[in-house]
Amino acid sequence: MRRTLLWTGVLVCGASITLSLFLGLRRLERQNAKAGFETVAQARFSALETNIRLTLNSLVSLGSHFDASRGVDRLQFSRFTTKLLANNHAIRALEWSPRISREQRPGCEQAARSDGFPSFRITQRTAEGRMVGAADREAYFPVFFVEPLAGNESALGFDLASNPSRRQALERAADTGVPVATSRITLVQETAGQYGFLVFI
């Protein structure tokens, strides 16, 4: 009887020690996993923050270039933005979208055609996703310059004011004079179903 009690005590004690070790190691493993996750998450957050800062700096530089120039032509825009894009691969495209009145629309479209874009027209996207000629409005904000052009051709001529979320961010940027971003959107030139966002300055 004593032997049975002794063995039972040893087994209970051994099981308790094993269980305590298991729970302690499991807790330690969870703490290590949490610390590892937090380290990785912080590193990714820092990288994202750096990319956003670089992107905003690129936009401010581009805006300053326009402010300091009497006029920027397509070639000057291309030369200036190529250097900005080479330093920041997070940017899909840099664009210039002037305000065009209803009366200026034919001249704007003709100017782009004269620049080598024979099918240029101010467009908007239908609810089904098709690009069509923009409806008659008092004013338009068409993408007139875009770099790089390759992969972004469908954005050329797109009227940013034809989409509510784009128009709202555009108007806020114009009213406040500070950069304003859209919420998550599908870019006009997107073909893989990814999301992006626009920043207006």
pLDDT at 37: 73
Give residue-wise pLDDT tens across range 147-196.
999 988 989 999 999 989 899 999 999 899 888 988 888 888 777 677 88
User: Where is mean pLDDT largest: 16-30, 63-77, 100-114?
Assistant: 100-114
pLDDT at 136: 95
Q: Kindly report the backbone phi and psi dihedral angles of residue 145, in degrees, each rounded to the nearest multiple of 5, phi listed first.
A: -120, 140
pLDDT beyond 80 at 46: no
Length of the chain, in residues: 201
Q: What is the mean pLDDT of residues 83-112?
A: 90
Q: Alpha helices of 69-163 — where are they, by DSSP H?
A: 74-86, 105-114
Task: List C-alpha distances in Å: 55 to 39, 74, 134, 183, 198.
Answer: 24, 21, 29, 16, 11
Could you tell me the pTM of the whole model? 0.72
Angle between helices 74-86 and 2-68 (to 10 degrees): 160
| Token pair in block for residue 104 | 């200026």
pLDDT at 143: 95
Band of residue 1 on the pLDDT scale cut at 50, 70, 90? low
First to last CA, the chain: 87
pLDDT at 3: 55
pLDDT beyond 90 at 198: no
Give residue-wise pLDDT tens across range 54-97.
777 777 777 887 788 888 889 998 988 888 888 777 788 899 99
